[in-house]
Structure 1
Amino acid sequence: MPHATALTPGLPEAAALLDGTVARTREDMREQGMALCGMGTRAMLTTFTAPRHRTCNTYGTGCTLSSAIAAGLALGVPLELATETAHSFVQQAIAAADGLQVGSGHGSLHHFHAVWE
Structure 2
Amino acid sequence: MPNPNTPSSLVSSTPIVLTIAGSDSGGGAGIQADIKAISATGGYACSVITAITAQNTQGVSAIFPIPVEHVSHQLDAVFSDLNIVAVKIGMLADADIIKVVADKLRQYQPQYLVVDPVMVATSGDILLENSAIHALKNALLPLADIITPNLPEGAALTGKPLPKSEADMQAMIDDLRLLGAKTVLLKGGHLEQDENSNDLLILPDRVETLSAKRVNTKNTHGTGCSLSSAIASYLAQGHDLERAAFLGKSYISQAIAHSDELNIGKGHGPVNHFFEGHAALR
Q: TM-score with structure 1 length normalisation? A: 0.90
The answer as to whether partners of 1:33 and 1:45 remain within 8 angstroms in 2 is: no
What is the aligned counterpart of 1:8 among 148, 159, 162?
A: 148
Whole-angstrom distance in 1 between the partners of 2:184 and 2:157: 13
Distance 2:155 2:261 in 1: 34
2:236 aligns to what?
74
Q: Report the residue type matching 2:150 in the other structure.
A: G
**Structure 2 residue identity aligned to 1:101:** N
Cα distance between partner residues in 1 of 2:216 and 2:159: 33
Question: Of the candidates 217, 226, 246, which is equivalent to residue 55 of structure 1?
Answer: 217
CA distance in 2, matches of 1:7, 1:30: 16
**2:270 is aligned with what amino acid?**
S
1: CA distance, partners of 2:252 / 2:149 = 15
Larger radius of gyration: 2
**Runs of 4+ in structure 1 displaced over 4 angstroms?**
none
**Tell me, which stretches of 5 or more residues in structure 1 are unaligned?**
none
How far apart in 2 are the matches of 1:74 and 1:61?
A: 20
CA positional deviation for 1:50:
1.2
Deviation at 1:45, TM superposition (A): 1.4
How many correspondences in the alignment?
117
Q: Is the 8 A contact 1:8 1:66 kept in 2?
A: yes
Equivalent position amino acid for 1:25 in 2: S
How far does residue 53 in structure 1 lie from its aligned partner after superposition? 1.4
Q: How far did residue 64 of structure 1 move? A: 1.1
SS for the counterpart of 1:50 is strand
Q: Is residue 2:180 matched to residue 1:18?
A: no
CA-to-aligned-CA distance 1:18-45 (integer Å, 9 cap, x gap): 1231122323212323212122111111
**For 1:89 and 1:69, how far apart are their aligned partners in 2?**
9
How far is 1:49 from its partner?
A: 2.1
The percentage of counterpart residues that share the same residue type is 42
Q: Is residue 252 of structure 2 the alignment partner of residue 90 of structure 1?
A: yes
TM-score, scaled to structure 2: 0.39
- The separation in 1 between residues aligned to 2:242 and 2:166, in whole angstroms, is 20
Q: Contact between 1:57 and 1:97, CA under 8 Å: does it hold in 2? A: yes
- The separation in 2 between residues aligned to 1:32 and 1:67, in whole angstroms, is 24
Residues 1:44 and 2:184 aligned together? yes
Which runs of 5 or more residues in structure 2 are unaligned?
1-140, 187-198, 200-209
Instruction: Give the structure, 1 or 2, with the largest relative contact order (CA under 8 Å, sep 6 or more).
Output: 1
CA RMSD of aligned residues (A): 1.5
Moved more, 105-114 or 42-51: 42-51
8 Å Cα contact 2:219/2:268 also seen in 1: yes
